[in-house]
Amino acid sequence: MSEVPPRRRKRKGSQSRNFVDWKQLITIGIWGVIALGIGLAAYSFFSQEPAPVASNPTDSSSPPAVASAGAAPGAGLATGSPNSAGNSTAPPTVNPAGATPPSQVTKPVKSAADTQKEANEFFANGVIPELQIQISDADLQTLRKAPTSFVIGEQRPYVHATIIENGTQRYENVALKLKGSAGSYRHVDDRPALTINVDKYQKDLTFHGLSRFHLNNSVQDPTYIHEWLTSELFQAAKVPVTKVTHARVWLNGRDLGLYVLKSSFDSSFLKQSFGNSKGNLYEGGFVQDIDIDLEKDFGQGKDDRADLKALLAACREPDLSTRWQLIEQNLDIEQFLSFMAMEMMVGHWDGYTLNHNNYRVFFSTGTGQAYFIPHGMDQVFGDPNASVINLPSSIVGAAVMHNRDWRARYRERLRELLPLFSPADDIQKRVDTIHARLRPVLLKMGAQVAADHNPKVKDLKARLVARATNLTQQQSLPDPRPRDFDESGRLVLTDWKPVSETPDAKLELVELKNGPQAYSIQFLAKGRCNASWRSKASLGKGTYTLHAKMKADRISTMVEKGQVTGAGIRIEGMNSDNLRRGTVNWIPLKFEFTVTEDIRTVEFVIEMRARRGQVWFDTESLYLTRVE
């Protein structure tokens, strides 16, 4: 048997001519793919432009800038936008042919000082940005189902959105929700007011240094100048206020027109205004005073509202000597007097002083005192003859003005602030500056839009002249006195004004068959109704009874804070003890209360708080009597 020749040992690393080492080939292939990927990534990185943090409207890649004509250096800006109907509706081109796609804003690490500086420069530079907002269909449905009215403990939902600024700067995954109350609230398919929370889903992401901002539709200000103008006036009076500018807005390609863009009440605002942000910031809800558990916007510690309760207790302390001491401990008196004087002088009838609405209150841990901050100043300067010496009905305002020394200081503060308003030359020049700044944007929206805006600005300037004259005249008027009752011992209450937190509630003065006129409140939509008619009167010390006759039809009640609601009468600051539900036919109602001060402005409320129904109050039945 022949021997099998021995196998020739190959040298290490050698291969036979026909042998294939698959493991080695696979390894070589993997390393080749990795090398190719690294090369492509490096090419992509070094060939593209770096994404700027904030857009520069003067860059060649940006659309033409809309610049301010004589904008005040460092001043906050403000105003609103006309309805977009009939305007040029084409949004700015996001990615024109051959241009670089919108760059995603990065999240660089910045100091608080740098962030604040960037925000200040944005509001001072006079440029009006163009903002395209994109929301998915599913998120649009969420917004359509959102609550239309403000209810304590019930939050409007945030949805995800993308914002493209000036066609070049892209902010991905920002949070957006609807805002506004009765008057300013609009559904998402209309011209909604919006809150943008930039860093809710992406920590440290900002929009020109802002972590949150608001887009107000300014539907209650046809001039779109009120917010900016009053912001400047409050700043001049050393009262903290948020900054204001403008933006033109599109939502899913739909032109919404010009908006007021406002900074928010956040930690950076508190630090810049008060030196630190340690404390609690509360939002004044719709026509809600400090006797309500106000929603806390910001703050550390327990949510027991101990600071609010302490201020409330101080204002209601029976012993006057103790009351003044407690108020001084819990409130910065000088700041509050300036805040109150400015609200009255600009005619902010829907603010805290006159309507306990549209405000924030900050309790500083450093001082232990409260500071009031104005908000929602789109309906100012409406009545040139609005009183600045009538006593306020708000809890803190009434308590402070009951102190004779503080009231004298308030009258002195009115005189000190008068040069801001009179003569009216300077304030009119500011209006011209704002108008000139807005005009290029309005012309871009349409020549008719710009033309329609002119007479509205002219009317505002005329009201400012009239207001200046009236404020000068009021300096010499005496303090108000209590109202007189007639020979029958009655004080007939007139001048009732509708107040509604619910957009779908219908409030009107109606004619009744075979009867007098009546103040009606009707709510037949889904949700809940909080609506009322209100009147005020200055009363002296004593006990009084409020009278009314009421008819109700199928009032469906609800439970708020453990209490069943309905329709009835009361005064502001007290709960009603005469609420009715279901259907009733012209029943008399009475509400007794006591005034402990020498003079006090009392606000009377005839209301319906329910899920559904209608109520009528006989206009001839609304009067006061004294309790002997």
pLDDT in tens, 576-591: 999 999 999 999 999 9
Residue with tokens 């009215």: 149
Query: Each residue of 480-504: pLDDT tens digit?
Result: 999 999 999 999 999 999 998 887 8
Q: Show me where the domains of the chain are located.
A: 103-271, 277-420, 490-626
Residue 163 phi/psi, 5-degree rounding, is -120, 130
Of 380, 408, 392, which is closest to residue 353 (Cα–Cα)? 392
pLDDT of residue 57: 37
CB–CB of 490/624 below 8 Å? yes
Those residues whose C-beta lies under 8 Å from the C-beta of residue 558, and which sit 6 or more positions away, are 528, 564, 565, 609, 610, 611
pLDDT confidence band for 68 (50 / 70 / 90): very low
> Could you give the CA distance from residue 572 to residue 534 in angstroms, rounded to a whole number?
9
Element of type H or E holding 300: none
pTM, to two decimals: 0.78
Other beta carbons within 10 angstroms of residue 44's beta carbon come to 9
Say if residue 284's pLDDT is above 80: yes
**556 has which bridge partners?**
612
In the predicted model, is pLDDT for residue 69 greater than 50?
Answer: no
- Alpha-carbon gap, residue 45 to 475, rounded angstroms: 68
- In this structure, the dihedral spanned by the alpha carbons of residues 274, 275, 281 and 286, taken in order and rounded to 10 degrees, is 30
Contacts of 148 (CB under 8 A, 6+ apart): 185, 187, 502, 503, 504, 527
pLDDT value at position 415? 98
User: At CA 81, angle to CA 79 and CA 84, rounded to 5?
Assistant: 175
Picking from 540, 140, 603, the residue whose alpha carbon sits closest to that of residue 357 is 603
Instruction: Name the average pLDDT for the chain.
Output: 85
For residues 579 and 594, give the distance between their C-alpha atoms in angstroms, rounded to a whole number.
20
Q: What is the DSSP string of 381-446?
A: TS-TT--SSSPP-SHHHHHHHTSHHHHHHHHHHHHHHGGGTSSTHHHHHHHHHHHHHHHHHHHHH-
- Residue 293: which pLDDT band, with cuts at 50, 70 and 90? confident
Max Cα–Cα distance, the chain, nearest Å: 149
Looking at per-residue pLDDT, the higher value among 54 and 281 belongs to 281
Contact 207, 163 (CB under 8 A): yes
Q: Is the peptide bond before 423 cis (omega within 30 degrees of 0)?
A: yes
Architecture of domain 490-626: Sandwich (2.60)
The predicted-structure confidence for 526-566, as pLDDT tens digits, reads as follows 888 899 999 999 999 999 999 999 999 999 988 776 677 89
Rg (CA), the chain: 31
CA distance 257 to 419: 35
pLDDT digits (tens, 9 = 90+) for 358-398: 999 999 999 999 999 999 999 999 999 999 999 998 999 99
CA-closest candidate to residue 362, choices 269, 262, 236, 231:
269
- pLDDT for 345: 98
85-90 average pLDDT score? 52
Between CA 41 and CA 118 the distance in angstroms is: 32
Q: Which residue, among 238, 459, 233, 239, has the nearest Cα to 347 in the 3D structure?
A: 233
Specify burial of residue 53 (Cβ count, 10 A radius: 0-12, 13-18, 19+): middle
Amino acid at the residue 240:
P
Rounded-to-integer distance, Cα 529 and Cα 527, Å: 7
Between 64 and 295, the more confident residue is 295
pLDDT of residue 151: 56
**Would you state the structure tokens that stand for residue 435, as one six-digit string?**
């108008």
Q: Which residue type, as a one-letter code, is found at position 32?
A: G
Strands 130-134 and 563-564: unpaired
Is 82 a residue whose pLDDT tops 60? no
B/e letters for 370-404, b = 16+ CB within 10 Å, e = fewer, are bbbbbbbbbbbbbebebebbebbbbbbbbbbbbbe
Which pLDDT belongs to residue 138? 96
Q: Give percent of the chain with pLDDT exceeding 70.
A: 81
**C-alpha–C-alpha distance, residues 515 and 511, integer Å:** 8
Tell me the per-residue pLDDT of 140-193, one tens digit each, with 9 for 90 and over: 999 998 877 655 556 789 999 999 999 999 999 999 999 987 778 899 999 999
Coil, strand or helix at 540? strand
The tokens for 462 are 């005329």
pLDDT at 436 over 50: yes
Residues 119, 297: Cα–Cα separation, whole Å: 21
> What are the tokens at 21?
């080492």
Report the 3 state secondary structure along 154-202: ECCCCEEEEEEECCCEEEEEEEEEEECCCCCCCCCCCCCEEEEECCCCC
Does residue 26 register a pLDDT over 70? Answer: no
Give 319's DSSP letter: S
